[in-house]
Structure 1
């Protein structure tokens, strides 16, 4: 993507931090139990011809207080960074037309705004 629009460095950094926070939150949620509170599981359904059991869930132990606090911290960070990116003063300098949407989408894909861009920049 050689034709990237000029974005302020602080906006690129905010977008990069947003990508990283969202990825960290997603990874945490995938590792957590399926229910915040302890809940019983339920059996799956056996296919009438093959006997294969699908669906159902094991019981959930619920989140520990530490897991709940970490999930909330990360979600709050994602929310705050989303607000910071979307209300950045740079967006006020652009025309309120389809170009604004294009610019926003381009920022999300900007090479320096990707989650691994900080490590690449430090290694260079």
Structure 2
């Protein structure tokens, strides 16, 4: 199991500011968001393609271009829809914690802007402790999270 990144030095520290020295609560929030994202998409793979019942459509070729068809969908049950909506709501809340975290305000006060701020936000997604670990215990890579979904 990986250890979250150490808390950043106090603002009055004489050490230079490191926008990649993420606080542990931000790393934990990013990890939760990644886990929820993977769980939501894994669950979505088990559902019919349409939330509402739909008759589908046949495969067609029009002017030499193939248009794939879709089989009929029974739609989702009330339980399936409620579970999906719960996953989605939990993911929104976790994402909000990451996006609105006070760390990003601190970064802005320290002069981190534009591409450097984007780089810091992207680095969080790969930070130690922010990437979910599979059952075997080794951290997942970002592509693994997508594949699990």
TM-score relative to the length of structure 1: 0.81
Q: Unaligned regions of 5+ residues in structure 2, if any?
A: 1-18, 139-149
Matched, 1:83 2:96: yes
Pick the structure with more helix per residue: 1
Matched, 1:61 2:74: yes
Matched, 1:105 2:118: no
8 Å CA contact 1:12–1:107 kept in 2: the answer is yes
- Alignment length (residue pairs): 116
CA RMSD of aligned residues (A): 2.7
Matched, 1:9 2:50: no
Aligned counterparts of 1:85 and 1:115: Cα–Cα separation in 2: 15
SS at match of 1:111: coil
Q: Unaligned regions of 5+ residues in structure 1, if any?
A: 48-52
Matched, 1:28 2:43: yes
Deviations, residues 7-62 of structure 1 (Å, cap 9, x unaligned): 11110000000001011111111221111111112221269xxxxx8611111000
**1:96 Cα deviation (Å)?**
4.4
